[in-house]
Structure 1
Amino acid sequence: MSAITSRLTAKNQKDLSEILGKVNLHLLYKASVHGFSAKAFHDKCDGQGPTLTVGYKDSQCIFGGYTSEDFGTDESKMDDKAFLFQLNDAGSVKKFDVEPRTVDHLSLLQHGPSFGSRVFLPYGKKKISNLGQSSWSKKNLPFEDNVDLVECEVYRVEELKAPWRKINLNAGSLISRHDEYHLHPFRRRLKLIQSIQSYKLYRNTVPKARVLLIGPIGGGKSSFINSVNSIFRGVVTNRALAGGITGTEMYSTYSFRQKDKTSPPLILSDTMGLAEGTESGIHVDDIINIVEGHVPKKYQFNEASPIQADTKGYIKSPAIAERIHCVVYVIDANKPTILSPAMEKKMCAIQSQIAELEIPQVVLLTKVDEACPLIGKDLENIYWNEHIEQKVLEVQRKLRMPVSCIFPVTNYWLDINLVFTMDILILSALLQILRFVDDYFENLDD
């Protein structure tokens, strides 16, 4: 059976957050699917805790009510947290609080959701009716005494815990403070771009930080490079060919430029992907050779044999600017198991060798929008999302990587226009990578 689709759009849910706060709405009951009947409603919604009932008169008229009390057996309750609401096309939400000391929550087995005298689906009818004295003032009520319904939905309201990482992605946030976490997304994005663009590496050791992307085939390395390029160019690009059958087969490096032709102090290096066995994918020895700076640009990887000192183009005495200053593992979050046992073993072995070189290591957890449909609908909830948090913790356990070095991101693969929340996640990861590179150079001085 296919999943039941909410009639509320992402924008509707964002607008409702003005009165509900940061919550998750879990669809329990949809009348057009489960039936316009009191029994169907009670079967799905009794004992579910706080709920939001949404009625639809037509596509332009959305209204309903909230109660913090359970629906259940025949009883009446006073719920000072209950309210009615109306949502219009412009995105404004009107909230109507209950009159003091009145019955504002009814649970009647012969009716659907009831708010005082305002009853949804009375006796199984596709209506909202007024069955008695209202618990709300009649002034400016969101719906009349008898309204025909085309749909009725009931959602369990799940309060989200505090975000597991502090970062502001909220498109509706106000610029109320001066620190970077409380800026409107447009300003936040611009500030991050400026911070990266003007970043001065430790003692100007090298003109640009060289960052190596490695990871399983199809993890999203090339797509991440395209996403970074898109942000700095101001349009969605496909500079690194992504989505091919064989993936990257040569060693490629990418610098970036903005419209004004300035360039951030960053080079991303792309490699052939890792495979579980030894018959395909990049050879582990080639990874170490890249990190040490021996592999020339455009080198064609040989799956069976790594580069040798006598290979044409081999860089025998690489300068520090030609070496890798940070290694980034790019891992697909949209898998039931993040890494298979064989891939986990291979990546841990690589980690160990790179750690001996004292190179900083970071994880990009890609495709989080595919891994969790809620994130796909609203990326702003990524640091409130328990599913993504568990994915991050799974990576932390398997690779023994600090959570502060793991960054969930989503790449440009569907959108053809820039999305501020996507950009902020990517830019935040890039800025932290530059800081880790600074740590590396500072350690070289000690």
Structure 2
Amino acid sequence: MGAALPKPVQPAAPTYNPEFDKPWRDFKWDQKSELKKHLEEFSLSNPDVKHIRILVAGPIGAGKSSFINSVNNVFQGLITSEAPANSSSSHGESFTTTAIPQVIVMTKVDEACPLVNKDLKKIYYSKKIKEKMQICHDKLGVLMCNIFPVKNYHEEIDTNDKVDVLILKALDQIVRLADDRLFNSSGTLLN
């Protein structure tokens, strides 16, 4: 009998790295005070317009009420629950062909990605979050620059600066887009 042949060496399975080496979106985590002040002092460009209306739409359980409450939490500096959950109606309408500015506030990022659940500051390093944003873009046509991943307050008993700054940035961009909508392409005010 001859000597046993050595078993072939199996190459190691490549390990999946859930994060990019560098953030795929620049984000200043220390801008909470600046964003909050800007929003508190914000006034619309058109003095004839007193208020802007923001439609918050999505399926039941998507985080609409939690986002509204989270915005309130940021400005109150404590956890509140003003917006009633699951108070949605079945009326829906597509705004994809209108000139209404569209954004996506992508909630529940902590549930979607373990990396982000562990460290919220990894949100713009996360391959999973970018992939989910790309899916939103592909399905709904909303520009990637108008998709804002956020973590809502839902279990916390105190506010958190990392959660706050993501919420404030989303709200700031929503308000800016709405204000920009007051002007048409020639730079004149819309009525």
Calculate the TM-score normalised by the size of structure 2. 0.84
> 1:161: which partner in 2?
21
Structure showing greater Rg: 1
Secondary structure of residue in 2 paired with 1:195 = helix
The equivalent position to 1:235 in structure 2, one of 60, 71, 78, is 78
The equivalent position to 2:63 in structure 1, one of 181, 195, 220, is 220
Q: Judging changes above 3 Å, is the alpha-carbon distance between structure 1 residues 373 and 210 closer, same or farther for their aligned structure 2 residues? A: same
2:173 corresponds to 1:445: no
Q: Judging changes above 3 Å, is the alpha-carbon distance between structure 1 residues 364 and 159 closer, same or farther for their aligned structure 2 residues? A: closer
The residue type equivalent to 1:440 in the other structure is R
Return the offset for 1:419.
Answer: 0.9
Percent identity between matched residues is 40
Secondary structure of residue in 1 paired with 2:162 = helix
> 1:406: which partner in 2?
147
In structure 1, C-alpha distance between the alignment counterparts of 2:32 and 2:168, rounded to whole Å:
8
In structure 1, C-alpha distance between the alignment counterparts of 2:16 and 2:174, rounded to whole Å:
40
Secondary structure of residue in 1 paired with 2:53 = strand
Q: Judging changes above 3 Å, is the alpha-carbon distance between structure 1 residues 372 and 221 closer, same or farther for their aligned structure 2 residues? A: same
Q: Judging changes above 3 Å, is the alpha-carbon distance between structure 1 residues 351 and 157 closer, same or farther for their aligned structure 2 residues? A: closer
> 2:133: which partner in 1?
392
Q: Judging changes above 3 Å, is the alpha-carbon distance between structure 1 residues 158 and 229 closer, same or farther for their aligned structure 2 residues? A: closer
Structure 1 gap segments, 5+ residues each: 1-45, 50-154, 170-184, 249-271, 273-280, 288-349
Secondary structure of residue in 2 paired with 1:384 = coil
Runs of 4+ in 1 over 6 A off after TM superposition: 155-159
The residue type equivalent to 2:33 in the other structure is L
The Cα offsets for residues 310-360 of structure 1, whole Å up to 9 and x where unpaired, read as xxxxxxxxxxxxxxxxxxxxxxxxxxxxxxxxxxxxxxxx033xx33x211
Secondary structure of residue in 1 paired with 2:103 = strand
The residue type equivalent to 1:216 in the other structure is P
Secondary structure of residue in 2 paired with 1:407 = strand
The equivalent position to 1:368 in structure 2, one of 109, 112, 126, is 109
RMSD, matched Cα: 2.3
State whether residues 364 and 409 of structure 1, in contact with CA within 8 Å, keep that contact through their aligned partners in structure 2.
yes
> 1:423: which partner in 2?
164
In structure 2, C-alpha distance between the alignment counterparts of 1:158 and 1:216, rounded to whole Å:
28
> 2:33: which partner in 1?
190
Which structure 2 residues correspond to residues 171-182 of structure 1 after superposition, within 5 A? none
The equivalent position to 1:282 in structure 2, one of 67, 70, 90, is 90
In structure 1, C-alpha distance between the alignment counterparts of 2:69 and 2:159, rounded to whole Å:
12
State whether residues 192 and 431 of structure 1, in contact with CA within 8 Å, keep that contact through their aligned partners in structure 2.
yes
Which structure 2 residues correspond to residues 202-281 of structure 1 after superposition, within 5 A? 202-242=45-85, 247-248=86-87, 272=88, 281=89
Secondary structure of residue in 2 paired with 1:364 = strand
Q: Judging changes above 3 Å, is the alpha-carbon distance between structure 1 residues 379 and 158 closer, same or farther for their aligned structure 2 residues? A: closer
Which structure 2 residues correspond to residues 26-425 of structure 1 after superposition, within 5 A? 160-169=20-29, 185=30, 188-242=31-85, 247-248=86-87, 272=88, 281-284=89-92, 350-352=94-96, 355-356=97-98, 358-425=99-166
Q: Judging changes above 3 Å, is the alpha-carbon distance between structure 1 residues 205 and 378 closer, same or farther for their aligned structure 2 residues? A: farther
State whether residues 380 and 421 of structure 1, in contact with CA within 8 Å, keep that contact through their aligned partners in structure 2.
yes
Q: Judging changes above 3 Å, is the alpha-carbon distance between structure 1 residues 160 and 233 closer, same or farther for their aligned structure 2 residues? A: same
Return the offset for 1:200.
Answer: 2.0
Secondary structure of residue in 1 paired with 2:82 = coil
The residue type equivalent to 1:218 in the other structure is G
Q: Judging changes above 3 Å, is the alpha-carbon distance between structure 1 residues 158 and 416 closer, same or farther for their aligned structure 2 residues? A: closer
Secondary structure of residue in 2 paired with 1:167 = coil
The residue type equivalent to 1:426 in the other structure is I
In structure 2, C-alpha distance between the alignment counterparts of 1:368 and 1:395, rounded to whole Å:
13
In structure 2, C-alpha distance between the alignment counterparts of 1:409 and 1:378, rounded to whole Å:
13
The structure carrying a bigger helix percent of its residues is 2
Return the offset for 1:230.
Answer: 0.6
Return the offset for 1:158.
Answer: 8.0
> 1:126: which partner in 2?
none
Alignment length, in residue pairs?
177
**Larger RCO, structure (CA 8 Å, separation 6 or more):** 2
Q: Judging changes above 3 Å, is the alpha-carbon distance between structure 1 residues 362 and 205 closer, same or farther for their aligned structure 2 residues? A: farther
Return the offset for 1:205.
Answer: 3.5
In structure 1, C-alpha distance between the alignment counterparts of 2:157 and 2:78, rounded to whole Å:
8
In structure 1, C-alpha distance between the alignment counterparts of 2:172 and 2:147, rounded to whole Å:
13
The residue type equivalent to 2:122 in the other structure is N
State whether residues 66 and 152 of structure 2, in contact with CA within 8 Å, keep that contact through their aligned partners in structure 1.
yes
State whether residues 165 and 383 of structure 1, in contact with CA within 8 Å, keep that contact through their aligned partners in structure 2.
yes
Return the offset for 1:240.
Answer: 1.3
Q: Judging changes above 3 Å, is the alpha-carbon distance between structure 1 residues 417 and 441 closer, same or farther for their aligned structure 2 residues? A: same
